[in-house]
Amino acid sequence: MKKVLIPTKLDKIAQDILKASGHYAVYQDDGGDVAALAAKYPDAYALIVRSEAVTAAIMDMLPGLKVVIRAGAGYNTIDTKTARKRGIDVMNTPGANSNGVAEEVVALMLADARHLIKADASCRAGEWEKKAFMGREVAGKTVGLVGLGNIGRLVVKRLSGFDCKFLGYDPLISAERAAAMDVELVDLETLFSQSDYVSLHIPETPETKKMIGTKLLSLMKKGATIVNCARAGVIDEDALRKTKAEKGLRFLNDVYPKDEAGPKTVVDIADIMVPHLGASTKEANSMAARRAAEQLIELDEKGVTSYIVNRDIPEGLDEAYCMLANTIARVAIHVLGKETNLKQIETSCYGSLKPYGNWLIVPVVSAMWNEFDRSMDSKAAQQFLKGRGIDYQNRETDEKKAFANSMTIDLTGTVDVSTLRQVSVRGTVAEGTIMISRINQFEKLYFEPSGHVVCFQYKDRPGVVGHVGAALADASLNIEDVRHSHHSQTDQSLAIFRLNAPAPAAVIQKIAREIKAVMAFGATL
């Protein structure tokens, strides 16, 4: 019998499922002391935890440990690198908490709309302040969802009975998929200006940090509400503090830089603030427990590895080519443009990469969606794309083209109902360095996609590169490298600059206007 330790307050259904299989002896202690339970059962085969830390020291106590499962999505408390070195698979249960978070969004909206928290306190104090607690109804309001992943989609579903109008922003979901959910895809400016409620469902990344700032907040309706059950860092608190006072905005919050006791920086601007309760439901706990047990059994009995988050790359594939696929995808999505809704991904793999074509969709998907972990498998990646209404094809390649050990990623998206946009990016690895060799019709770029870059496509004419260089210098930006390619048939040129620091969006937009660029973007690669 394989011993499974559960040193956490987890629904007993995990224990029941594992015991019922007849292959596991389960030892559970709700106290959360991993070390104590490990000391009692040093021959344990698996650990199932919630937020408890699983460190190298814990692994030292369990020499026979083979699997660690996080009953939930985030696994930052587990030393995944040490686990991989020791042959320990680390798994998680993504999506188990989604409904709990979605319902919390609705609960916050309703509680605030009817002043339930303050009214309860007032009534308990013996007061009778009906006039002071005049509320408003959620029914018929416009709700904007920033991010249409699992949670965003469930918020729409849960609010559908309120006859709300739904606006959505998610560049990486097809218009057809959004329409099927009764969501109208719009840009961020439209979403913030037209919504009565804005609910955030995006991860915190360098690109999204403080994304919700003065520009977007100033567009909101007077008295509109913003709900953050995503990540604390996506909102610029100082900008919210200022705009909230000017426009009478409401702010409902469940997330903080750290989940711990102590003063919170949003205490003066949050109309309702709760201690990260999104996943704190019996049902979410039960779902995470059930999935943890089922995934362990499937791993052992069927070899299902879809939820392992510290997978090795396939045998025979150089890790550099995984980074190549990830990097090409990040470049391609920037070229496609944020205003474009992705509909199709096509990959072409040449040379020694050809046998790994389908596997390489994993780093491609993880490059475009932070919520998809790059250690998942190809089946999970394709299922993820299917759920977002995006077609995927790994095309058969012609070896006569002699694109040795290279990969091409083609993206197709819609700008509006009648306009398609297509992007094609090819890259390779030369002497251990990732190189982008082609972007659309522009060949032989041999650009190293690293650091801070800006890219401009424009009608070719003398002096443009010099003008861009001077404008970047005026912004105190130093050019570390430049690549320039001209396409004679279209009379278009592409210029890519690597800089010593990120170029502000305003600088990029100003240069694009001055040179009449047909495509421009900045990125940190």
Per-residue confidence (pLDDT) for residue 400, from 0 to 100? 66
Instruction: Give the per-residue pLDDT at 95.
Output: 83
Structure tokens that stand for 101 in this block: 């978070």
What is the bridge-based pairing of β-strands 225-228 and 250-253? parallel
Q: Cβ distance 158 to 102 under 8 Å?
A: yes
Whole-angstrom Cα Rg for the chain: 26
Q: What is the pLDDT along the chain (525 residues), one digit of tens a residue?
A: 999 999 998 999 999 999 999 999 999 998 889 999 999 999 999 999 988 999 999 999 999 999 999 998 778 789 988 998 888 999 999 888 899 999 999 999 999 999 999 999 999 999 999 999 999 999 999 999 999 988 999 999 999 999 999 999 998 787 788 888 999 999 999 999 999 999 999 888 777 889 999 999 999 999 999 999 998 999 999 999 999 999 999 999 999 988 788 999 999 999 999 999 988 899 999 999 999 999 999 989 888 777 888 875 666 677 788 889 999 999 999 999 878 889 999 999 988 888 888 889 988 998 888 777 666 678 888 988 998 899 999 998 876 666 778 999 999 998 877 788 999 999 999 888 999 999 999 999 999 999 999 999 999 999 999 999 999 999 999 999 999 999 999 999 999 999 999 999 999 999 999 999 999 999 998
Percent of the chain with pLDDT over 90: 72
Q: Are residues 386 and 459 in the same domain?
A: yes
What's the rounded Cα separation, in Å, for the pair 237 and 243?
10
In a domain, 411, yes or no: yes
DSSP-derived letter for residue 161 is: G
| Eight-state DSSP code of residue 388 | T
Rounded to the nearest 5 percent, the helix, strand and coil shares of the chain are: 35, 25, 40
Identify whether residues 293 and 332 lie together within a single domain. Answer: no
Environment class of residue 241 by beta-carbon count within 10 Å: exposed (0-12), middle (13-18) or buried (19+)?
Answer: middle
Alpha helices in 41-187 (DSSP H): 56-61, 80-85, 98-113, 116-124, 150-159, 175-180
Distance from the first to the final alpha carbon of the chain: 48
Residues 89 and 115 in one domain: no
CATH number, domain containing residue 461: 3.30.70.260
For residue 311, being part of any structural domain is answered with no
Q: Are residues 81 and 145 in the same domain?
A: no
> CB-side exposure of 159: number of CA atoms within 13 Å?
32
Contact 46, 69 (CB under 8 A): yes
Based on the domain organization, do 91 and 102 belong to the same domain? no
98, with CB counted inside 10 A (0-12, 13-18, 19+), is buried
Residues 205, 153 share a domain: yes
CA distance 452 to 498: 6
110 and 214 share a domain? Answer: yes
In a shared domain, residues 266 and 331:
no
Helix/strand/coil for 459: strand
In a domain, 312, yes or no: no
Domain limits at 351? 319-524
Position 308 in a domain: no
120 and 85 housed in the same domain:
no
For position 24, which CATH number holds? 3.40.50.720
In a domain, 23, yes or no: yes
Statement to judge: residues 403 and 511 lie in one domain? yes
pLDDT of residue 339: 81
Strand ranges inside 368-525, DSSP E = 391-395, 406-416, 419-430, 433-439, 452-459, 479-487, 492-499, 519-524
CA distance 42 to 59: 10
**Could you tell me if 356 and 293 lie in one domain?**
no
Can you give the pLDDT at residue 302? 84
d(CA 247, CA 81) in angstroms, rounded, equals: 47
Burial 140-174 (b: 16+ CB within 10 A, else e): ebbbbbbbbbbbbbbbbeebeeeebebbbbbbbbb
Check residue 96 and give its pLDDT: 86
**What b/e sequence results for 504-525 when a residue is b if at least 16 CB atoms lie within 10 Å of its CB, and e otherwise?**
eeebbeebbeebebebbbbbeb
Total number of domains in the chain: 3
Q: What is the identity of the amino acid at 6?
A: I
Same domain, 86 and 234: no
Give domain status of residue 444, yes or no: yes
Query: How much is the pLDDT for 520?
Result: 94
**Could you report the per-residue pLDDT of 366-413, keeping only the tens digit for each?**
888 877 766 667 888 898 899 889 999 999 887 666 677 899 999 999
